[in-house]
């Protein structure tokens, strides 16, 4: 009998878990993206790892859920069927990188599809409260 749970530990930035169910499997991945202090090459390596996990464990009848701190801004303007109109701010370069990854892998940024109070749209405030992301 196959194991019902598969743990996938990739790095200090990605951990994943596959749950085998009767009709579908569920892949849950937790990601912590590098901050803006890091070069885009580091971020692209993380996206490459995410895509390898999706290719290996997220195909077929698998529901993929990726959570995490993406350290980007996807903005409040809809982008195809990937980003809804309830995001925050203006899309930045790292937000565009996330959009590209979602587009390649058939994913959506779910929290942008539901209207929430403004205080629930950001997870970080700059010292002095001059910026929120």
Residue 46, number of CB atoms within 10 A of its CB? 22
pLDDT tens digit sequence for 74-126: 999 999 999 999 998 899 999 999 999 999 999 999 999 999 998 787 777 88
Domain of 119 in residue numbering reads as 5-129
DSSP 113: S
- According to DSSP, the residues that pair with 75 across neighbouring strands are none
Backbone angles phi, psi at 35, to 5 degrees: -75, 180
**DSSP of 41-79, one letter per residue?**
HHHHHHHHHHHHHHHHHS-SSEEEEEEEE--S---SS-B
Residue 81: half-sphere exposure toward Cβ, Cα within 13 Å: 4
**Rounded distance between C-alpha atoms, residue 78 and residue 72, angstroms:** 16
Q: What is the mean pLDDT of the chain?
A: 92
What domain count does the chain have?
1
Full-model pTM: 0.89
**DSSP of 3-34, one letter per residue?**
-SEEEEE-SSSEEEEEEE-SS-EEEEEEEE--
Residue 1 pLDDT exceeds 50: no
Q: Which helix (H) or strand (E) holds 122?
A: none
């Amino acid at each position: 009998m196959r194991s019902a749970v598969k743990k996938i530990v990739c790095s200090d930035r990605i951990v994943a878990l596959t749950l085998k169910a009767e009709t579908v499997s569920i892949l849950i991945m937790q990601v912590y993206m590098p901050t803006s202090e890091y070069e885009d090459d580091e971020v692209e390596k993380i996206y490459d790892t995410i895509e390898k996990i999706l290719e290996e464990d997220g195909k077929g009848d698998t529901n993929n859920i990726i959570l995490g701190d993406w350290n980007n801004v996807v903005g409040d303007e809809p982008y195809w069927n990937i980003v809804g109109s309830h995001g925050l701010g203006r899309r930045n370069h790292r937000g565009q990188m996330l959009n590209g990854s979602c587009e390649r892998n058939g994913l959506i940024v779910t929290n942008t599809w539901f209207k929430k109070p403004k205080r629930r749209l950001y997870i970080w405030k700059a010292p002095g409260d001059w910026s929120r992301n």
